[in-house]
Structure 1
Amino acid sequence: MTGYARAEQQNPSGRLSWELRSVNHRYLELQFKLPEEFRSMENDLRQLATQRIGRGKVEAGLRYSRDNGVAGGLQIDTDRLAAVLAAVEKISGQLRTSTAPDPIQVLAWPGVVRIDSAPDVTVPLADAMQLFQAALDDFTATRSREGERTKLYLVERLDAMAVLVERVKVRAPQVRDAWLDRLRAKIAELGVDVDPARLAQEAALAAQRLDVDEELSRLGSHFTEVRDTLVREEAVGRRLDFLMQELNREANTLSSKSQDAEMTRCAVEMKVIIEQMREQVQNIE
């Protein structure tokens, strides 16, 4: 969900500049910083952004600077100025004086200088919308590239967890057999007779307590679901959040059932990997 983009454009009325940046957020939160004359387009901008962005705290700022002489600039009426100077020269000749006219007084003569009104911002509004679309294209492309890198990272973590699951699958029957061997050795050491039916019952109960086949099966199913989710052409962040919770649940159950150091180590490694994945999932829309 993190991303950044910037787009600039020079047009006859001035320079436009968009800057978009986003950070992680559970939902979509849009914040626009616009010059006052562009406030009227905020709803259209928000609708456009909502169509392209699903999650994240997004800040979109627009800067607009008018060119010199465009916004309320001073303009000299050369015809009026020539007429005023001609009149000054005529009067100076009649008064027989050679004093040059004061420029400030000439400029103060009515009609010599005029102040242009501020230009219509209709064209800048249209340009600002078009530029925002370009910035949004760059912004989403940046986030897509980051998403591909995150996807590869998650797949690598899933592969690492799959290796750990296979280790547990191999180790689990050995743990059950070792427990039964220790029980028989203890009975022999005590020199007591045990009803075979009773021994079988205890072995069955122990096997049930130590059985992790269901947890391993669900972990495998969740792995498949995560991989399928990563290739969907839609927002998948919330679904991945849920799947990380389910993976963590199974890893915790596996750890609680473990009666073996190797299986416990595998369960702990799984939880470490899941936490790494959960941190990355926060970046996914």
Structure 2
Amino acid sequence: MPVYSMTGYASVQKTLQQAEGENATSPHQHTRLGLEIRSVNSRFLDLGFRLPEELRQLEPALRELVTKHLRRGKVEVRASLEAGEGAALPSPSPQALQRLAALQDKIQDWLPKARDLSVADVLRLNQGSSSTQPVDDAAWTALALEAIDALREARAREGARLTEMLQGHIGQLLALAEQAVPLVPQLVEQQRLRFLERWKDAMALADGNHLPETAQDRALTEATAFAIRIDVAEELTRLRAHLDEISRLLDKGGDIGKRLDFLIQELHREANTLGSKSAVLEMTRISVDMKVLIEQMREQVQNIE
């Protein structure tokens, strides 16, 4: 299953067929039905619809389709129903003209400065109030599915790009972890030798109030405590385990965004601990480089569904 980004865009259009029995001068013979869907990242599925009044009754079916195929993201859906270039303008009926004239007189009684309706105003109002060709449910569903499929394809392409980038970051983090592994025993050994030298110096300066055994125990205790404090083997093991799990989820695909976000938090915690236990400049550099890569991964994961 592919990895889906929450960022995508799709736009589809369909020319409505002239209904059977309509004459050649039907004003709706070239009506175009359009559907545009765009989405960006969001913690949950946040749907917004902008539909003309003629299509408002179809919103529940569209909402159900989008909810069925998308899990997360801020999704904006726009639909349009327009007449094409070849469409004839609908002729206003006498009854419609009478209603418009009556409305104009009523408005001007209250607003004397309101201007008279122009021919363009009358045609526009008549076109908006005239009955449009009904949109067949099957045609609407087919168009909606086509738009959703196109959006999912766009999100899948973006998801593949994000997956490639994340896998690259995983490789870099594993390489940094490998650089950190040999540093720990070296640091422990260096510190052990340093404490032994201090112990020998203490023995040379010891007077009758301090026994050699006491000084040696103190040196060994401090050496052990330091070794425990700088040992990051457990952090490196957990970090590699988290990276393996992220890689497994990316290979699996599907609805993995929230799990990836949690694992990124765990990676950041391990990298912080690695830095806090750092006893040499090289380990500090590795920790900083890890946190930079993890922050880049966080930004990418926040776009995954």
Give the TM-score band, short-chain normalised: 0.7 to 0.9
What is the percentage of aligned positions where both structures have the same residue?
A: 41
The total of aligned residue pairs comes to 243
> Where do residues 143-182 of structure 1 align in structure 2 (5 Å cutoff)?
143-182=155-194
1:266 aligns with 2:279: no
1:215 aligns with 2:232: no
AA aligned to 2:286 is C
AA aligned to 2:183 is R
> Where do residues 273-284 of structure 1 align in structure 2 (5 Å cutoff)?
273-284=293-304
Cα pair 1:28 1:57 within 8 Å, conserved: yes
User: Which segment drifts farther, 244-253 or 40-49?
Assistant: 40-49
What residue in structure 2 maps to residue 82 of structure 1?
none
What residue in structure 1 maps to residue 146 of structure 2?
134
AA aligned to 2:295 is E
What residue in structure 2 maps to residue 44 of structure 1?
61
Which residue of 250, 258, 275 corresponds with 2:270? 250
Q: Distance in 1 between matches of 2:89 and 2:60?
A: 26
What residue in structure 2 maps to residue 121 of structure 1?
134
Q: Distance in 2 between matches of 1:216 and 1:192?
A: 41
Q: Distance in 2 between matches of 1:175 and 1:208?
A: 11
What's the offset of the Cα at 1:73? Answer: 4.2
Provide Cα deviations, 1:167-220, integer angstroms capped at 9, x if missing partner. 111111111111222223334455445533332222211111111111011001
What's the offset of the Cα at 1:127? Answer: 2.2
What residue in structure 2 maps to residue 80 of structure 1?
none
Q: Distance in 1 between matches of 2:132 and 2:48?
A: 28
What residue in structure 1 maps to residue 7 of structure 2?
2
What residue in structure 1 maps to residue 72 of structure 2?
55
> Where do residues 58-69 of structure 1 align in structure 2 (5 Å cutoff)?
58-67=75-84
Distance 1:211 1:2, change over 3 A: same
What residue in structure 1 maps to residue 20 of structure 2?
none
The TM-score normalised by the length of structure 1 is 0.80
Secondary structure of the equivalent of 1:258?
coil
Cα pair 1:172 1:211 within 8 Å, conserved: yes
- Structure 2 regions of 5+ residues with no counterpart? 1-5, 18-27, 94-129, 207-211
Name the structure, 1 or 2, with higher relative contact order (CA <8 Å, separation 6+). Answer: 2
Q: Distance in 1 between matches of 2:87 and 2:243?
A: 64
What's the offset of the Cα at 1:228? Answer: 1.2
Q: Distance in 1 between matches of 2:87 and 2:67?
A: 38
AA aligned to 1:160 is Q
- Structure 1 regions of 5+ residues with no counterpart? 76-116
Over aligned residue pairs, what C-alpha RMSD do you find?
A: 2.0
1:11 aligns with 2:16: yes
Provide Cα deviations, 1:122-177, integer angstroms capped at 9, x if missing partner. 43x54233111111111100100110110110011011000111111111111111
Cα pair 2:169 2:293 within 8 Å, conserved: yes
Provide Cα deviations, 1:213-261, integer angstroms capped at 9, x if missing partner. 1101100110111111112242111111100000000110111011111
Secondary structure of the equivalent of 1:155?
helix
What residue in structure 1 maps to residue 109 of structure 2?
none
